[in-house]
Amino acid sequence: MPLKRFYAPEGLALPALFAALLLAGCTHSSSSPEGCVERFWIHPADALSSVELVGSWDSFARPGIALTARSDGWFTAERAVSTGSMQYAFVVDGRWTRDITEPLEEVAKGQPVTRRNVADCHAPQLSLASVRVDSAALRFGVTLVGASDGTPFVALDVRDEGSGKTVSVALDATQRGTIDVALPVPSAPRFAFTVTGTDALGRRASRRSFAWTDGHTDADRIGYQVLPDRFRGPGGSPLSNPTNLAMRAGGTLSGVTAELRRGTFDALAVDTLWLMPLVQNTSNSFDIGDGALGTGYHGYWATSSSQVDANLGTEADVRELLDVAHARGIRVVLDVVPNHVHAEHPYWRDHRADGWFHGDPGACVCGSVACPWETSMERCAFSAYLPDVNWDEPAAADTVTADTVNWLERFPFDGLRIDAVPMMPRGASRAIVARARDSVAQGSRDLLLLGEVFTGPGAYDKLRYYLGPFGLSSTFHFPLFWALRGAFADETGPLSGVTDAVAQGALAWGDSGATLATFAGNHDVSRLASVAERSGADRFALPPFASDARTWSRLRQTFVALYTLPGFPMLYQGDEMGLPGTGDPSSRRVLPDRADLPADALDLERHVQALARLRRCSTALRRGALEVLHASDEALVFGRRDPASNEAALVVLTRMPNAVLHVPLPAAYGGSVRDVLQGTVASLRDELTIPSDAVRTFAIWLPSTSPCTAP
Amino acid sequence: MHRSLIRSFLPALPFALALAACGDSTVNRRDDGVPPTPPSYDPGLGGSGGAYGSGSSVGNPSTGIDAGPPVPVCPDDYKGCTQTITYPYGGETSVEVRGSFGGDSTWQQGVAMQRNGSQWEATIIVPYDRPALMKFVVNGTEWRVDSTKPTQTDASGNVNNLLAPVTCTTFVCTEPAPPPAGVFDWRDAVIYFAFVDRFVDGNPANNCSVNGVSGAIADYQGGDWAGIAQKIDAGYFNDLGVNTLWLTVPLDNTAERGQGVGGDTKYYSGYHGYWPKVDSSDPAALQPESCFGTLDELKGVVTKAHAKGLQVLFDYAMVHAHQSSAMVTQHRDWFWPNDNGRGGNCICGQGCSWDTVPDRERCWFTDYLPHWNYTNSAARTYGVTNAIEWAKQTGIDGFRLDAIKHVDASWLTELRARVQAEVVPRQSPAQRFYMVGETFDFGNRDAIRAYVDPATKLDGQFDFPARRHIVEGLIMRTMRLSDMVAFLDGNESFYGPQAVMSTFIGNHDLPRIIHLAANSRMWGDNQYADGKDRAWQSPPVTAPAEREAYERVANGFALLATTKGAPLVYYGDEVGLAGAGDPDNRRFMTWSGLAPNQAWLRARVSKLFAIRAAHPAMRRGTRQTVALGNDTWLFRVSSAGDNVYVAINRGDVDATITGLPSTALRELVEGTAQQSTQVLVPARQVRIFAAP
């Protein structure tokens, strides 16, 4: 329900009767001399439960505060609290229970508790909602709540953070609920703004947010993953692989900016760039297994929480990259690593003994006998030199959360890619999500909070766990990743596994509203091309480009699926060229000089660019519902239909059918159609026939009348 | 856009003004007295994502592919860690480490230590994450502590070495050992509450009637101990698969009528046994209920039951005595006054509280039932002695203790001590004397657990919270199945490893289960109150006609039969006997003219308990969920050498359940072979699988 709001006019003398009414009406309410009164609600599964409220205000003393049971099954209690932050839990039939209506999950006294931030009721408050852009206006809702002394708001201003200009919004004192504000559509692709309300005593309340004016939703995103040290050198110059592949290669932020200016990402229809961590990393070398040494070229070995890695560039370079990207309609998402720090980080030096970390990382390396993955995931360390943050320690959790969100406050990034989400309690990613939205993007739907929840095949419930209204806005679709590789790259799985993974995923987390990031490769696994080529597994080798023509067909097929399925595709740098790589660090070799690419690689790049442009053009391929028409071991036929635009696309993929297939077609896919990739035309009726010799074929059929038939 | 603040605001409605001004202090948490909207998105528990792979480099998943059958989870209470104990060598010829680490038995016989250079060494198993005591027996006779290790001095001044709690990732998992062959293991118990007055009238000559009661359902109806004996002889209980009888309180009850408890204005007789008339000043002079027969007949019931392999529990009422009792008149100080000391009476729910201490241990259920004061040692000795004498003179195997939370704890601990000292030694063979209590509370498990401690108090209690979850999750289906399963998983070890709780879906204080299983339920979800409302006003004429109701009840029994705890069958529930709340839920047992649905249910209950009897895993194994859907649940129970899979479909459509092992199995309910990892479980049915 909308929040009611009230502001009395300046200097209005209330008749005594009204004043008395005011007082009487407020006895249950939220102001008190000492602090602000907070109300707590719980609806236990059974109204007969015994329920008490315990909290940090008295060190969780039990028995806690008794709650009043209501006839509708809710239990409620209120308590005066000091401004700031507190922890509490409901004890239901002796079991500690978090407040499921609140996002922040923590642990205290070894028990699950909720953290709630308490706004200062003695100060005015302001919140933003539903920031959106349509063809006519930039719109958002503002809710004003006056301070508890009843002082009214007298001014409401919106400041454009790009130009510094401010506009004032008229306040109508008779208005109740959320104020709907409409501003002319800004000319910049990305509009960042601050809304400030001022009350009659001159006290202010402010909120920041931003919106993209192109109207893209998450489903419209097309992504690209950049490992800056391995992308391009100063001015966009090509890099060479270091002799030791796990040392720095010399890539810089200016290299990324140069490729932005060159239009490299535009050719791939990219609107979302994932930059792997930019934070200062160690320059020393550490054991990476198999007798090899490596350094922090990848960004995951932070020695600072705020500094930009000098090897990559300066803060000014970050701002320039963001400006250039934003001007081209490209959002930039920053990789952050809240799970651990490097042993050279001052936090480890200063806090190794006070509970910020899960002890000596060498004593509990993930996957060791002492700390198996299954039982130690949240407390084990990736390696002996990467201390693992203890998110159950409030001081550590608060500091790392603030550090992480501070990157969004200092730079206009468009989101975060959060590393190693399941290595932390869920409360960690939730705390970052909540603070990020609160701080820079209240009410905005354009802040991408993309978590890395690395799973094996089929772990749908695992992903669901981190999504939802309090959770990440998206995660990587690992089950689909494994299915894509099985179907098209190593050809060990059924083609039906691909659409099964999409359907199972939709079933598992569909009600979260999240659109997941789909991908066929990343920096942690063997390169797609090397899986398709059946290269070896020597992770320090630099295998050559594929020589087997079948490999290139497999790659083309994989990308057809990736760019036509639901979700938003995230391409790992170099995969569009069929760059080989057999694990870490081989899969992180430098992006080759385009002049050195073999013809097959350039062909593949053109194929991926065509697919990306097609997806950017076709609403059906981005937003359409998936309709599986045939799914078997060796063939896959599916449609995408967008009811809003009435657009349809039909996708056919085969491996080795060995028998003629007859696939009945709904009318929406029939008529005069064009195979966008091969340029052939056909008239489809109520059935699609796939010949038995259709080995590794693909087709994307659009109506001949579609504007997207010549991408 | 220009600023246009309106300065001439005049409040037209003071009410709106006051409303709006209240709670304007926060944005997010404005207190308008309306509960928050709970998120409709339930993120679940996350399941397994396998090894997290940021560090892995190879393009293959490290988990997620058929990993074989899951390893059973071991409750912490059953876990032990190996630990090496040392003792400095000082010329001893032998050293043995003894202590509490393995329970009482390792005080009697410990582990011999081996000499290794300058010290003695032994490897022992210590409890997981719990402290233990130890001491060293030197040269076979002399008890010593190792002064270099931590010590603890107990209340009697004995000094022992203290083993601090340890945890370990590799542990041994030891279930409590079964008793010796021939001794009954109470984990195997299946209890049947034979409500004596309503079961079988074996001897019309002892029938009673009380004047002025509100109807036949409130009067004695003729059932007696002779009737119980008939059914024992006829093998009814053996055929049904129960092995323990709970019989009505045998104490003589008042012949006066009385109004019900808690505002119930109807008049009742003492047919139920809970209004004892305690007249004899000698607690060993037993006063049996004359309406049920003679003491010899009662002893005969116990003898006949034992001959059929049945254990016998007496219900025992020790909270209060009827006001007409001679002991009440002669020993006013043995009973709490009906006076709360605050200017009011001490009727439960009126001047005194049902629930809080000390009120609940003093309050009168109604104004003619004085509450025993067991803080008076003479009263306590009388009461405990009487219970002990019933046990000794009749040879029963345990008690069902009514309303235990209303009794001073000293009565219970004294009873347990005297049972161990006076009753157990008389048994042949000696076995655990099972005492199961009733604490009528569907929510507060801590309150129930407070009375459970097999060494000093109760062996177990009736598991009301589990009943609530099973009935709501499986039978009424108003609770999400996953919530029920999560509760039951956490409940399994809640009462401690030695407890034997009694699981149930029906008893004499709740409306008959068959109505809660009906397609259209007569009552809602409130398991305390509902049913009473129609006990007198338009009670159900018959049980539901539809087969579905019987199948749902059978599913409830199936869950009791396939998991830990001692299942209780309330007489008549095995045939879906009809009835609203007390007293309508105590209709006379139906022995003939069973409808097909009733006969089916009885046969199914019998079949389920027969399967339980054949599989120790179902009686004491560890349960692990294999697959859980909205309406389907596949779980495995495992104990040493026995694995049983149970597939339950609570839904109203047939369901395919996947997750059985690929080895050949036999389905035990229908008696068919099972080869596939999938099984079609028809609506409202259970299928149980074990190795052929």
Model confidence pLDDT, tens digit, residues A614-658: 999 999 999 999 999 999 999 999 999 998 888 899 999 999 988
Place of tokens 């001491």: B135
- Judge whether B114 is closer than 8 Å to chain A, CB to CB: no
Residues A166 and A100 in one domain: no
Please indicate whether, in this complex, the C-beta atoms of B39 and A469 are within 8 angstroms of each other: yes
Q: Report the half-sphere exposure of A563 (CA within 13 A, side-chain side).
A: 30
Mean pLDDT of chain A: 90
Residues A153 and A178 in one domain: yes
Query: Tens digit of pLDDT for each residue in A256-286?
Result: 999 999 999 999 999 999 999 999 999 898 8
- Tell me whether residue A319 is exposed, middle or buried, using C-beta atoms within 10 angstroms of its C-beta: 0 to 12, 13 to 18, 19 or more: middle
Q: Please, what's the b/e burial string for B76-87 (b: 16 or more CB within 10 A of its CB; e: otherwise)?
A: ebbbbbeeebbb
Residues A66 and A130 in one domain: no
A267 in any annotated domain: no
Query: Tens digit of pLDDT for each residue in A203-227?
Result: 999 999 999 999 999 999 999 999 9
- The rounded Cα B635 to chain-centroid distance in angstroms is 21
Residues A131 and A112 in one domain: no
Query: Tens digit of pLDDT for each residue in B144-156?
Result: 999 888 998 887 7
> Domain ends where: A212, A246, A271?
A212
pLDDT of residue B471: 94
A18 has pLDDT over 60: no
Closest CA in chain A for residue B20: A6
- CA pair distance A394, A107, nearest whole angstrom: 9
Please indicate whether, in this complex, the C-beta atoms of A420 and B54 are within 8 angstroms of each other: yes
Please indicate whether, in this complex, the C-beta atoms of B27 and A171 are within 8 angstroms of each other: no
Stretch (H or E) spanning B270: none
pLDDT of residue B55: 32
Please indicate whether, in this complex, the C-beta atoms of A148 and B24 are within 8 angstroms of each other: yes
A177 in any annotated domain: yes
Query: Tens digit of pLDDT for each residue in B54-75?
Result: 333 333 333 322 223 333 456 6
Peptide bond into A63 cis (omega under 30): yes
Strand pairing partners for A625? A641
- Judge whether B44 is closer than 8 Å to chain A, CB to CB: yes
Which value does ipTM take for this structure? 0.75
Cβ proximity of B78 and B497 under 8 Å: yes
| Secondary structure of residue B651 in the 3-state scheme | coil
Domain count, chain A: 4
pLDDT of residue B621: 85
Cβ proximity of B292 and B196 under 8 Å: yes
- CA pair distance A590, A593, nearest whole angstrom: 9
Residues A94 and A59 in one domain: yes
pLDDT of residue B155: 76
A601 in any annotated domain: no
Q: State the average pLDDT over residues A513-534.
A: 95
Cβ-nearest to B43 among A125, A471, A530: A471
Closest approach of chain A CAs to the CA of B470, in angstroms? 13
**Per-residue confidence band for B14, with pLDDT thresholds at 50, 70 and 90:** very low
- CA pair distance B376, B334, nearest whole angstrom: 6
At A206, the amino acid letter reads: S
Please indicate whether, in this complex, the C-beta atoms of B25 and A119 are within 8 angstroms of each other: yes
Please indicate whether, in this complex, the C-beta atoms of B51 and A482 are within 8 angstroms of each other: no
CA proximity to A103, closest of A453, A442, A431: A431
Please indicate whether, in this complex, the C-beta atoms of A76 and B7 are within 8 angstroms of each other: no
Please indicate whether, in this complex, the C-beta atoms of B38 and A43 are within 8 angstroms of each other: yes
Q: State the average pLDDT over residues B223-244.
A: 97
Residues A191 and A168 in one domain: yes
Q: How many CB pairs under 8 A join A and B?
A: 276
Of A90-94, A214-218, B384-388, minimum mean pLDDT range:
A90-94
B533 has pLDDT over 80: no
**Per-residue confidence band for A176, with pLDDT thresholds at 50, 70 and 90:** low
Please indicate whether, in this complex, the C-beta atoms of A29 and B53 are within 8 angstroms of each other: no
* Alpha-carbon distances of A533 from A160, A574, A575, B460, rounded to whole Å: 52, 16, 13, 65
Residues A133 and A98 in one domain: no
- CA pair distance A13, B519, nearest whole angstrom: 63
**Per-residue confidence band for B104, with pLDDT thresholds at 50, 70 and 90:** confident
- CA pair distance A131, A136, nearest whole angstrom: 14
Query: Tens digit of pLDDT for each residue in A549-606?
Result: 999 999 999 999 999 999 999 999 999 999 999 999 999 999 999 999 999 999 999 9
- The rounded Cα A553 to chain-centroid distance in angstroms is 31
**Per-residue confidence band for B644, with pLDDT thresholds at 50, 70 and 90:** very high
Closest approach of chain A CAs to the CA of B166, in angstroms? 15
pLDDT of residue B525: 58
pLDDT of residue B493: 80
pLDDT of residue B179: 79
At A219, the amino acid letter reads: A
Give the residue from B17, B19, B57 with the most A CB atoms within 10 Å of its CB, the best one to mutate.
B57
Tell me the two tokens of residue B619.
Answer: 């009686």
pLDDT of residue B62: 31
Residues A76 and A137 in one domain: no
With a pLDDT cut of 70, the percent of chain B lying above it is 89
pLDDT of residue A34: 54
* Helical segments of A14-116, H only: 16-25
pLDDT of residue B64: 28
A166 in any annotated domain: yes
Query: Tens digit of pLDDT for each residue in A338-360?
Result: 999 999 999 999 999 999 999 99
Domains and CATH numbers, chain B: 76-173 (2.60.40.10), 188-271+286-318+395-588 (3.20.20.80), 618-690 (2.60.40.1180)
- Which residue range forms the structural domain that includes residue A46? 32-118
Cβ proximity of A288 and A380 under 8 Å: no
- CA pair distance B40, B28, nearest whole angstrom: 19
A28 has pLDDT over 90: no
Q: Which residues contact A493 (CB under 8 A, 6 or more apart)?
A: A482, A483, A485, A486, A487
Closest approach of chain A CAs to the CA of B304, in angstroms? 42
User: What DSSP line would sit under B601-644, residue for residue?
Assistant: HHHHHHHHHHHHHH-HHHHHPEEEEEEE-SSEEEEEEEETTEEE
pLDDT of residue A49: 82
What is the DSSP code (8-state) at residue B423? I
Q: Which residue has the higher pLDDT, A293 or A268?
A: A268
Please indicate whether, in this complex, the C-beta atoms of B59 and A531 are within 8 angstroms of each other: yes
- Tell me whether residue B609 is exposed, middle or buried, using C-beta atoms within 10 angstroms of its C-beta: 0 to 12, 13 to 18, 19 or more: buried
- Judge whether B51 is closer than 8 Å to chain A, CB to CB: yes
**Per-residue confidence band for B620, with pLDDT thresholds at 50, 70 and 90:** confident
Of B424-433, B554-563, B565-574, minimum mean pLDDT range:
B424-433
- CA pair distance A213, A217, nearest whole angstrom: 11
Q: State the average pLDDT over residues B560-578.
A: 97
In this structure, is the dihedral angle defined by the CA atoms of residues A370, A374, A380 and A383, taken in order, positive or negative? positive
With a pLDDT cut of 90, the percent of chain A lying above it is 75
- CA pair distance B372, B406, nearest whole angstrom: 10
Peptide bond into B583 cis (omega under 30): yes
Q: Which residues contact B678 (CB under 8 A, 6 or more apart)?
A: B656, B657, B658, B660
> Domain ends where: A181, A212, A243?
A212
Of A28-32, A443-447, B202-206, B455-459, minimum mean pLDDT range:
A28-32
Residues A204 and A137 in one domain: yes
A38 in any annotated domain: yes
**Per-residue confidence band for A296, with pLDDT thresholds at 50, 70 and 90:** very high
> Domain ends where: A97, A118, A139?
A118
- How, if at all, do strands B244-247 and B191-194 pair? parallel
Query: Tens digit of pLDDT for each residue in B156-169?
Result: 788 999 998 888 77
Residues A90 and A146 in one domain: no
pLDDT of residue B230: 97
CB within 8 Å of chain A, chain B residues 15-34: 15, 17-34
Cβ proximity of A454 and A478 under 8 Å: yes
Residues A113 and A169 in one domain: no
Cβ proximity of A156 and A197 under 8 Å: yes
**Per-residue confidence band for B224, with pLDDT thresholds at 50, 70 and 90:** very high
Give the residue from A7, A30, A337 with the most B CB atoms within 10 Å of its CB, the best one to mutate.
A30
Cβ proximity of B486 and B44 under 8 Å: no
Closest approach of chain B CAs to the CA of A292, in angstroms? 14
Closest approach of chain A CAs to the CA of B16, in angstroms? 10
Tell me the two tokens of residue A430.
Answer: 């939730």
Query: Tens digit of pLDDT for each residue in B457-469?
Result: 999 999 999 999 9
CATH code for the domain in which residue A659 is found = 2.60.40.1180
| Secondary structure of residue A193 in the 3-state scheme | strand
pLDDT of residue A24: 29
A86 in any annotated domain: yes
- Tell me whether residue A544 is exposed, middle or buried, using C-beta atoms within 10 angstroms of its C-beta: 0 to 12, 13 to 18, 19 or more: exposed
pLDDT of residue A175: 67
**Per-residue confidence band for B32, with pLDDT thresholds at 50, 70 and 90:** low
Of A608-612, B225-229, B485-489, B567-571, minimum mean pLDDT range:
B485-489
User: What DSSP line would sit under A243-286, residue for residue?
Assistant: SSTTS-----HHHHHHHHHHTTTGGGT--EEEEPP-B-B--S-E
Q: What's the residue count for chain A?
A: 711
**Per-residue confidence band for B524, with pLDDT thresholds at 50, 70 and 90:** low
Cβ-nearest to B21 among A6, A155, A374: A6
- Tell me whether residue B157 is exposed, middle or buried, using C-beta atoms within 10 angstroms of its C-beta: 0 to 12, 13 to 18, 19 or more: exposed
Residues A646 and A689 in one domain: yes
Q: Which residue has the higher pLDDT, A374 or A134?
A: A134
> Phi first, then psi: what are they for A174, rounded to 5°?
-90, -10
A399 in any annotated domain: no
CATH code for the domain in which residue A136 is found = 2.60.40.10
> Phi first, then psi: what are they for A159, rounded to 5°?
-110, 130
Stretch (H or E) spanning A524: none
Q: State the average pLDDT over residues A172-197.
A: 87
Cβ proximity of A680 and A709 under 8 Å: no
pLDDT of residue B20: 30
With a pLDDT cut of 90, the percent of chain B lying above it is 61
Cβ proximity of B397 and B311 under 8 Å: yes
> Phi first, then psi: what are they for A424, rounded to 5°?
-125, 160
- CA pair distance B632, B651, nearest whole angstrom: 7
- CA pair distance A173, A153, nearest whole angstrom: 9
A266 in any annotated domain: no
pLDDT of residue A146: 86
Peptide bond into A585 cis (omega under 30): yes
B5 has pLDDT over 50: no
B223 has pLDDT over 90: yes
Chain B residues whose CB is inside 8 A of the A493 CB are none
